Structure 1
Amino acid sequence: MNTDDKQYKELIRRWFNGEESEEDAYTLHTLLKDNNRLPELIAALEEEYNNLSATGYPEEQARGLAEKIAGIKLPDHESEVKGKLRFLGRWRVAAASVLLVLSITVYFLATHKRNTGTPATAGNGTEIKPGMQGAVLTLADGSQVLLDTIQNSAIAMQGGVSARVTNGVLVYEGTGNEIVYNTISTPKGRQYHLTLPDGSGIWLNAASSIRFPTSFSGPERHTEITGEVYFEIAASSGKPFSVSVSNKALVQVLGTHFNINSYENEENIAATLLEGSILASPGRNKSAADVVLRAGQQALIARMPAGNGQTGIKVVNDADIEKVMAWKNGLFNFNGASLAEVMKELERWYDIEVVYEQGIPEKRMTGKMTKDISLDGLLVGLKELGINCRLEGRKLIVLP
């Protein structure tokens, strides 16, 4: 074992045992910026994680430390851990820039353990924390239920169908004797998961909504959404599933997995197919052709008509599924994103307003990070990339 290997292992060991110093934080920061040393450092992290797990170190604590140091979410199944970490090492060596993830990781560990530095605050001394699970359920009678803190509880009985939260997931049960509608809405800084009456799984990103009947008793299963929603549709022979997207597009399916991004401040509505097939239609424009997507494809539907007045559909044949699904998997994936795209995502997750002091800088980002980091850690990472910001209340000002 060479000197570097010993140094890496000792450094990681101190982090896991809570014995790290400020000097260790700076050392780790420096090492992580050196792509040539990343494979050895990641190997040391993997070895120490496995050693601690084998010797009875609390699994949850070991996992949490490893995730924060590595900047990823580790899988629950132990046999998958090595593959994930090794993949991370290869990815980091190949990436054009990993400083965003790495500097945020080290800063998070250093500042949260020792409470040093000045965190980003909302103007009243309150640190701006990342988003969380939560939503507002609007029942058929117009009453609303805040779901942020409910883990297991009956919510309502409507038309013969019960709505209840089980392990933090809203579930509908029963056949129903009348058609009534509910709406789930996530404000900025919230995400939520629910199961529709037919067993379909629905995940809402921040600033999103879905309206649906509490029982699919008719000939079709129709829903309406805004924002960004991921669907895992239960197959139902002879009863197609359809999604009206911000009143501008229609997606029809029988049984499949797909994601729809329809935020109003995005140029296009994007429907991305993971499994099965879907039919995408450009809403009210009856003259535009429908498109059938196959797995791995993405349909881009322009919000504004082209010069000829037509609103057609552009198909991307090899969509970046990992990037599309990062939000659902608890990650930011900024690879290839413009600064403007990144800031839109931060606005929704941290419930902030982003303004540009002198126009939007022309910068492309590279990097991934978990979404459970506070805004102060993220801003330090952006500064390392040459992006300077000033926070005033909940307004983030991007400086030239």
Structure 2
Amino acid sequence: MNSRLKYLLERWSDDQFTEAERQELIDMLQSASTEQEIIPVLEDMWGKIEDEGLFSEVRQQTMIKNILDRYPGREVPVDRETGKGMHVSHRNPFIRKWSWTVAASVALIMGVGTYYLYHQKQAEVPTGVVQSISNVQQGQSGVLITLSDGSQVLLDTVKNGRITLQGGTVAKVANGIFEYEKTGSEVQYNTISTPKGKQFRLRLSDGTAVWLNAESSVKYPVVFTGKERLISVTGEAYMEVAQNPSIPFRVEVNGGTSVEVLGTSFNVNAYNNEESVRTTLLDGAIRVSMKGAANKLLKPGQQALTTTGDRPVQVFDDVNAASVVAWKNGVFDFNDVPLEEAMRQLARWYDIEVIYPQTIPKVQLGGTIKRSLPFTDVLYFLGNVGLHYKLEGNRTLIILP
């Protein structure tokens, strides 16, 4: 029982479990006979959520209150920080008897949705939103690999298996990760590109792991030769670089930014419609340079901003790295994110166009949203934070004053 529960929770946290597994998990949580096994596992799960630093203590309290407000009934949970009863209650039989941390875990698993974390009620869909809104999901086009000869292969069709590429190169897809089994002797360059609404993972021949965000690409040699390992990136990518001090790893980014890696994990955001290239270091060390500017050596937790022109490389300390790489874990993190930037993220993922016919509203977003949510739920979230909008032509989102 305990091991099965842990397995299902891991499947849930990775957004991988089936509807049947989801129902099995809910049935398991509702079973009073297994309560003593369930509670410690859920408390451990919540502890891991806290350790990730996704929610501050204040936001945790607000989140729990708003989740439990959806279950009106008799009992009142206790705020663990103040020891005082919170003026919320819940009639759900398997939520009412547990601690608020366990109740929160259950509520999230039941599919309450992270857009309820800070807002108690669903917003009504504004007048003017077309009925076909439910059809707006993640983009439908595929992940492509472009070979040296210009030919292309749609990787979405390769679930778990091997494919033979140009020059005798053999690659495979295993557990959602693309990697090379046989590279051959001929120097070739491959490019993997993602459309709007899709992410992809690959492992380079040296063992470096790459996560590509939506509408991004990475160009790399099938096998590294020479005195350095050089790849190029557009859009956004997170990398865990295999250490090899004798052969430095370098990333070229559009706009002239260059990142020299010294065995590390980092994130680079280089979308063309962003004002600057943002390179964030999670572990190890990197050197960021820009044509015409002095390079900067980054420490973990720092972020470098580079722009075109003769501007110097700017370095910012104490960056929330977990927020920066939230996309890699299937989450939009909108805490302290300007409205325009958040809308650009949504546009890339849901393959929509965002238009501001007048002034850009001064709306402050907050909280996190799972990328697996349908766009309908995202619109509820936007309505809850006071944003006015309408959807035209199914994929044009008009932001109103």
Q: TM-score, normalised by structure 1?
A: 0.71
Change (3 A) 1:398 1:222: same
Do the aligned residues in 1 keep the contact of 2:115 with 2:381 (CA within 8 Å)? no
**What is aligned with 1:331?**
331
Deviation at 1:217, TM superposition (A): 2.1
Query: What secondary structure does 2:55 align onto?
Result: helix
Deviation at 1:155, TM superposition (A): 2.2
Aligned counterparts, 1:238-317, within 5 A? 238-282=246-290, 284-285=291-292, 288-303=293-308, 305=309, 310-317=310-317
Change (3 A) 1:140 1:222: same
Identical residues among aligned pairs (%): 41
**What is aligned with 2:395?**
394
**What is aligned with 2:232?**
224
Asked if residue 81 in structure 1 is aligned to residue 45 in structure 2, the reply is yes
Counterparts of 2:129 and 2:154, CA distance in 1: 25
**What is aligned with 1:357?**
357
Query: What secondary structure does 1:327 align onto?
Result: helix
Change (3 A) 1:85 1:246: closer
Asked if residue 152 in structure 1 is aligned to residue 160 in structure 2, the reply is yes
1:320 partner letter: N
Do the aligned residues in 2 keep the contact of 1:133 with 1:148 (CA within 8 Å)? no
Aligned counterparts, 1:195-206, within 5 A? 195-206=203-214
Deviation at 1:311, TM superposition (A): 2.3
Counterparts of 1:122 and 1:137, CA distance in 2: 36
**What is aligned with 1:345?**
345
**What is aligned with 2:138?**
130
Do the aligned residues in 1 keep the contact of 2:115 with 2:368 (CA within 8 Å)? no
Do the aligned residues in 2 keep the contact of 1:171 with 1:194 (CA within 8 Å)? yes
Counterparts of 1:84 and 1:125, CA distance in 2: 35
Change (3 A) 1:387 1:319: same
**What is aligned with 2:58?**
94
**Count of paired positions:** 320
Deviation at 1:228, TM superposition (A): 0.2
Deviation at 1:390, TM superposition (A): 0.7
1:331 partner letter: V
1:360 partner letter: I
Q: Deviations over 1:61-106 (max 9, x none)?
A: 465899xxxxxxxxxx97841413667999376139769x969964
**What is aligned with 2:186?**
178
Asked if residue 210 in structure 1 is aligned to residue 218 in structure 2, the reply is yes
2:185 partner letter: N
Change (3 A) 1:372 1:132: farther
**What is aligned with 2:104?**
none
2:356 partner letter: Y
Deviation at 1:161, TM superposition (A): 3.1
Counterparts of 2:329 and 2:201, CA distance in 1: 12
Counterparts of 1:86 and 1:254, CA distance in 2: 30
Aligned counterparts, 1:9-28, within 5 A? none
Q: Deviations over 1:102-133 (max 9, x none)?
A: 699647999xxxxxx98999886761123689
Query: What secondary structure does 2:179 align onto?
Result: strand
Deviation at 1:338, TM superposition (A): 1.5
Query: What secondary structure does 1:141 align onto?
Result: coil
Counterparts of 1:355 and 1:389, CA distance in 2: 10
**What is aligned with 1:23?**
none
**What is aligned with 1:53?**
none
Which of 90-99 and 150-159 deviates more? 90-99
Query: What secondary structure does 2:246 align onto?
Result: coil
Do the aligned residues in 2 keep the contact of 1:188 with 1:351 (CA within 8 Å)? yes
Change (3 A) 1:167 1:64: farther
Change (3 A) 1:233 1:80: farther
1:343 partner letter: M
Q: Deviations over 1:37-68 (max 9, x none)?
A: xxxxxxxxxxxx9xxxxxxxx865465899xx
**What is aligned with 2:372?**
372
Counterparts of 2:189 and 2:49, CA distance in 1: 45
Do the aligned residues in 2 keep the contact of 1:176 with 1:217 (CA within 8 Å)? no
Counterparts of 2:386 and 2:133, CA distance in 1: 26
Deviation at 1:341, TM superposition (A): 1.3
Counterparts of 2:135 and 2:346, CA distance in 1: 15
Which structure 2 segments of 5+ residues have no match? 1-8, 10-19, 29-40, 71-107, 117-123
Change (3 A) 1:366 1:278: same
Which of 361-370 and 255-264 deviates more? 361-370
**What is aligned with 1:233?**
241
2:317 partner letter: N
Which structure 1 segments of 5+ residues have no match? 1-48, 50-57, 67-76, 111-116
Counterparts of 1:197 and 1:87, CA distance in 2: 33
Change (3 A) 1:192 1:122: farther
Deviation at 1:158, TM superposition (A): 3.3
Do the aligned residues in 2 keep the contact of 1:191 with 1:203 (CA within 8 Å)? yes
Q: Deviations over 1:368-399 (max 9, x none)?
A: 12111011111012111111211112100111
